[in-house]
Amino acid sequence: MKRILLAEDDFDFGAILKQYLELQGFEVNWAKDGDEALYLIQKNTFDICVLDVMMPKLDGFSLAEKIIELYPEVPFVFLTARNQNEDKIKGLKLGADDYIVKPFEADELVLRITNIIKRTQKRNQVGTLPNEIQIGFYSFDTNRFELKHNQKKQQLTEKEALLLVFLFQHKNQLLKRELVLKAVWGNEDYFSGRSMDVFISKIRKYLIEDKTIAIESIRNVGLEFKILKKADL
């Protein structure tokens, strides 16, 4: 039975959603505000977090930041009544696996949650790699999701780690966007595409000190993770 942390301050909506998710076979812990949700995630283990954006005491975005600090491997989705681009972009930058605007069909939420959990189960592929892999001048700890170079450490989220490893495994190859999206996000929808663009930007920044590494985007085609030889620079 998969366990969900549901953070929703609307009592009627939260009660209905909790009951529906439980009917679908999930175990649901329901928090009525951000502080309660933070307390629950510190005391329990969850397969996914479903977070309302507008909550008292601690809003969904701030809660997500704290969850990432504690458990970067746990996926999360945002629920919101605000269909505003700036909110979506903020959610993307935080690393949300999905962003769902109210009102929505409960069946749709269940499907998205199920797909996200399936993808997280596949993420064990990172753990099957050697404990440390060399990516250009960087070493990457596949257990801790740490990227290291010159005594500096960069903590990656699990999705960032998945993307980095997938690109590295297909280095110096032109990859279609659809292939990367299916491998890391599990679908090719608009939200996932925008999310991938944000994550690519993050990976570029993490690797910026190594001039032999480049992630080149080719419009309407795909991208290529290049590791150049020094002679090619």
> What fold characterizes domain 3-122?
Rossmann fold (3.40.50)
| Element housing 152 (H / E) | strand 152-155
The residue ranges of every structural domain in the chain are 3-122, 126-232
More confident residue, 63 or 126: 63
Q: Quickly count helices (H) and strands (E) in the chain.
A: 9, 12
Residues 177-195 have pLDDT tens digits of: 988 988 888 777 778 888 8
Percent of the chain with pLDDT over 70: 94
CA distances in angstroms from 199 to 104, 123, 151, 158, 205, listed in the order given = 26, 16, 24, 12, 10
Q: How confident is the model at residue 17 (pLDDT cuts 50, 70, 90)?
A: very high
Residues 58-108 have pLDDT tens digits of: 999 999 999 988 888 889 999 988 777 788 888 888 888 888 888 888 898
* pTM for the predicted model, two decimal places: 0.66
Kindly tell me the burial class for residue 17, based on how many C-beta atoms sit within 10 Å of its own C-beta (0-12, 13-18, 19 or more). Answer: buried
Strand partners, 79: 52, 100
Task: Please give the single-letter amino acid code of residue 106.
Answer: A
Per CATH, is 126-232 categorized as 1.20.120.140?
no
